[in-house]
Structures are given as C-alpha cells and as structure tokens.
Structure 1
C-alpha cells in the first residue's frame, strides 16, 4: 500500500511543490486549500502524470468546524496518514505595531497558529493510533529572529517554533517524528499576499539576489522525511546564500 501525505495550503508555492515531489516518490496525497479550481488542476496534473491517488479538500484551516468535518469525513483508508505537512500560512501587512490592522493580525494568528493546531490535533491522533508518522511544520526565519514591522507575523512563527518542540515531546511515546523547517527568503506568492496584491512592491523584495524557490524547500522537506525511521531532523533553517539574517542581504546593483 502506498504511503499517504497530507499537505495544507497545497494550491501554490511550497505546498504545490511538495505535492509534485511527493507524487513522484509514489505517495498518495490529500491536498487542502481554499481554491477549488487550483486543487482540481493540480489533481488532474498529478493523476495524469503518475499512478497515485489524490484526494482534494477545499477548506480554510482557520475554520475549526470545517477542518473537523472534512478531515473526520475521510474514509479510514485515507486517515492512515504517514506525513503531515503543515504548510498553510501567510503574512499580511508590514506596519509598526501601533499602525497594524487588527484584522490582519487575526488572519495571521488564526491561520499560522490556530489553523496548524486544528489540523495537527486531528491528524496526530490518527498517527498515535498507528504509532507512526511524521509531522512537518513550516516555520520561518521570522520564528528565529524578529525584524522591524514584522511584529505579529514573527510572533506567530515563534509560536510555531515552540509548538515544534512541544509536539516532539508530547508525541515521543508514539514514535512520531516532528520536524520544523524554517526558510529565509523564498520567492512565492508570499510577498504578494503580504502587500495585498501589490505585485510591483512584492517583486522588489527579491530584486538583486537569488532567493530560494518553492522546489528548494520541497527538496529539503523530502530529505527530512526520507531519513531512516530512527533519525529525526528536529529543526532546519534554510537560507539563500545571499541572506545571512532577516535584515542582512547581499544585493547586486541594478
């Protein structure tokens, strides 16, 4: 029987790259996201190119009831999840704390922290029953450092960093591996979402240096998952060569 990976936020970026890579490795996939059309497109592509099974769930991880209904509504065979990739996450806005939007704060906290918890609570129980599994939590260099105007986003990713450690302790008796992946600058839809559709401002973030790609992160995630069962990569920070910290980048002149 093929192994199963459940990937949240699979409609673009790192989530989509993980779906493609895990499909190549023969994993059956449960893909979640908010855009039904994108999920359908990815499902069609993967099932055409490979022999794997793909189950798609249109849901918003912020909605506790929706997450519960959709995940618990899966058949027992689909609940035998081997790998959970908690990828759904976002940053909105880049203002100092006194000027920040409380709506943006709610969206980030509800997605990056509470959404991760809602999915993990359900899937980890499936893993506990089987006494095996691997949970990958997508953090950020923003969970290791704090930068100007990053306030609430950084706080959410610091929370994810702490949850990685807590999950590893709590799930230790059941042989479940937990890995935190913390990327630096990755060129995806991330900055476009942060700047609320301002594509020009988003492009400026990555000008003058070569950022990481979504495929770079998917490769890294696959490396951690493909280690022998007795090996767990607890924590991994990955940065572009041109980035030394959240605020130190080597950019070439235009």
Structure 2
C-alpha cells in the first residue's frame, strides 16, 4: 500500500488531505501537535496513523521517521504570525514563523529524500501560498517563508527529477481554515469568509488526490487554486487582508 505522510494534519487543508488520501486507499501518517485532534481524526477515518509531535522538535521528528517508509510527503504545516508592520514584529514571532514554515519542512524533506532516491520513486508536495508569489503589506515574514518554499521546491525538482521523484508546489488563494484563528477575533474571521466565496480545504485535497493519481511519467510542478469569484480585501482594525 502506498504511504503518505502529511504535516499539519490536525485541521484545515492538512486534515482534508489526510481524509481524502485515506479514502483513496493510501496508508496515511498524520503528523500534528494535537494528540486529541489526531486521535479524533483516526476515529473518524480508517487508514490513518497519528503521529503527535512538535514539528520543530528535531530529535522527536528524526526518531519518528526512523524505519518509516514514505512514498508521498506533504509538507503542509504552517503558521501565520500576527499581522502588522515588519518593523513592529516580535523577534520570537519571526523566529517561530521561519522555523515552522521553512526550516521544519526542509529538515523533514532531508530525512525522507534519501529513501526516495534509493527507491528511485516518490512524490513530495509543499503547501505554498499566493502570498509567496504576490506579496502584500503586513505579510513580510510569512510571504518570505512561502517564497522560499517555492524556490526550494523548484531547485529540489531540478535535482531529484532524474531519480524519478516528483515535486509539486500547491499554491492556494484564500482558503477557509483556522490559519488566522489566533490573530483575528471571531467577528473578523466571519467577515473575512463572508459569502462563502473562499475555497474550502476539501477543494485543495481533491486536486492533490488527482495529481498523485497521474502516471509516474507525468509531473505537476505547481498548481494554483483560487476562488472563482474575486475575494475583496477586508479592512480589519485598519489592516487590509488580501487573499
């Protein structure tokens, strides 16, 4: 059975991908911080094995990968730092955003690539963002991490494609998830997602399943998925959020 390891699988896009891939017959390893959420996911969907750990804990991450064969790696975990001017950002927020969104993904990929190269097969996906390709004010560090992920994926693709390893960058626009949960109040989030114009996590998951189902000779290097109707910027506490 083909295995898939997904980070950030406790909610949002990661959870939707875990469910969709399990339904498609994959043996899914769902990695996330919340043991409660992961156990709930396993209870509601067969074919999912939870791995509860802090992605930035390098020793735990390395130990969890020992002896684990990964055919598909989906680097999905990410955080959104508090919105605002870069000059006013706390250094701790800068550090945590770089660590979770970029460093952890690079390290996990480093742990998995050697086995894929040995088998001469595998597929690695990265959840990027339109913010990495069309940056806007108040997202400087977040946009930087997503732009770096894009460049990393492109370079890795050039390096690993001769070994039959496929690399795909997922570039979603505004998706209705919990990404802004800790930095916006409920009223602001409701306004942000009003009218159901935003994408749903399941929309992204469906395309991931389709991309993985392609024959080994076909590679989707990047796919952008955006809301059909334009999502207008929303002014919240004098800050403008864009998709």
- TM-score, structure 2 length as denominator? 0.91
Task: Give the corresponding residue for 1:229.
Answer: 216
Q: How far 1:55 moved relative to its partner?
A: 2.3
Q: Please give the alpha-carbon distance, in whole angstroms, between the structure 2 residues aligned to 1:162 and 1:138.
A: 13
Please give the per-residue CA displacement for 1:137-186, whole angstroms capped at 9, x wherever unaligned.
00000111110111100000000110110110121221100000010000
Give the Cα–Cα distance (whole angstroms) in 2 for the partners of residues 164 and 209 of structure 1: 31
Equivalence for 2:29: 30
Q: Is 2:102 aligned against 1:113?
A: yes
Report the alpha carbon displacement of residue 203 of structure 1 after superposing the two structures with TM: 2.1
Equivalence map 1:178-217=2 (5 Å):
178-195=167-184, 198-208=185-195, 210-217=197-204
What is the Cα-based RMSD across aligned positions, in Å? 1.6
8 Å CA contact retained: 1:147, 1:247 = no
The runs of 5 or more residues in structure 2 that have no matched partner are: 235-243
- Structure 1 pair 97/6, CA: closer, same or farther in 2 (3 Å)? same
Corresponding residue of 2:92: 103
Please list the CA deviations of residues 29-53 of structure 1 after superposition, one character each: whole Å capped at 9, or x if unmatched.
1110000011111112112xxxx3x
Q: Are the counterparts in 2 of residues 179 and 234 from structure 1 also a CA contact under 8 Å? A: yes
Which sections of structure 1, spanning at least 5 residues, go unmatched? 249-254
| Bigger mean CA deviation after superposition, 95-104 or 3-12 | 95-104
Give every structure 1 segment of 4 or more consecutive aligned residues whose post-TM-superposition deviation is greater than 4 Å: none
Aligned to 2:228: 241
> Partner of 1:131 in structure 2?
120
Change (3 A) 1:194 1:156: farther
Query: Conserved in 2, the CA contact under 8 Å of 1:140 and 1:157?
Result: yes
Among candidates 152, 156, 172, match of residue 163 of structure 1: 152
* CA shift digits 1:166-225 (9 cap, x unpaired): 110121221100000010000010121343xx2222222222451000000101111211
- Equivalenced residues, count: 234
Q: Please, what TM-score do these two structures have when normalized by structure 1?
A: 0.88
- Identify the residue that residue 207 of structure 2 maps to in structure 1: 220
Q: Show the counterpart of 1:61.
A: 55
